[in-house]
Amino acid sequence: MTEFNYLVPGVVDYRVCWDQQEKMLEKMVRARAENNSPTPENYFFLVEHPHVYTLGKSGSMGNMLITEEFLTKIGASFYRINRGGDITYHGPGQMVGYPILDLEYFRIGIREFIGKMEEAIIQTIAEYGLKGGRKEGATGVWLDTGDPARVRKICAIGVRVSHFVTMHGFALNVNTDLQYFRYINPCGFNASAVTSLQKELGREVEMEEVKTILKEKFNRNY
């Protein structure tokens, strides 16, 4: 069981948080080089962002369905970023997690890292009576994976690894305004395939409660 160094600053501008992640990654990469060994240092941001769309390095602008003018109208920003995956949305009511850790120190590869992340999310939403699962050919956590007509995504995942150190991470829809997904093909999928805890449960969910559960599940899975 791991006790991550959680940083929970509340609502943070995407660019500011991205810069902080980069600085911490660089610090850990330097520590690896100086000590010629993996570093036990780790950081784990749990944040919310103002409305923002991000496009991964392998993503297609064709999945952004609105103009720059409309982007301004809905109060959202847009960034091309250095994680894997396609386009996604972040905004208020969504719990975003950025684990910054040394894979070698934890003795895991990138696939196992993502698998553990998915498992922690699956265990988190199980606390609310939801059965999450994985979808073949896609990362993240989904509901009703056995029914192609009803399958829907509740958590997106996209990461970057540099010199064995990770950044970026997951976005769990808690009380997210799902209307913002209608302006994109999230991660290449139709927006109708996106859901949230609030939508599934028919009620608003306490963000602090979700943070507490997430911390416990991630600590147990690494």
- C-alpha–C-alpha distance, residues 206 and 166, integer Å: 28
Q: Which of 146, 158, 142 is nearest to 193 (CA)?
A: 142
Helices (H), 83-206: 103-106, 110-126, 197-201
Domains and CATH numbers, the chain: 6-216 (3.30.930.10)
Judge whether 155 counts as a catalytic residue. Answer: no
- C-alpha–C-alpha distance, residues 32 and 220, integer Å: 25
Which residue among the candidates 187, 194, 197, 214 is catalytic per the annotation? Answer: 187
Strands 6-11 and 43-48: parallel
Q: Which of 87, 84, 77 is nearest to 55 (CA)?
A: 87
Full pLDDT tens readout for the chain, 222 residues: 788 999 999 999 999 999 999 999 999 999 999 999 999 999 999 999 999 999 988 888 888 888 989 999 999 999 999 998 889 999 999 999 999 999 999 999 999 999 999 999 999 999 999 999 999 888 999 999 999 889 999 999 999 999 999 999 999 999 999 999 999 987 656 656 899 999 999 999 999 999 999 999 999 998
Q: Which of 79, 68, 20 is nearest to 44 (CA)?
A: 20
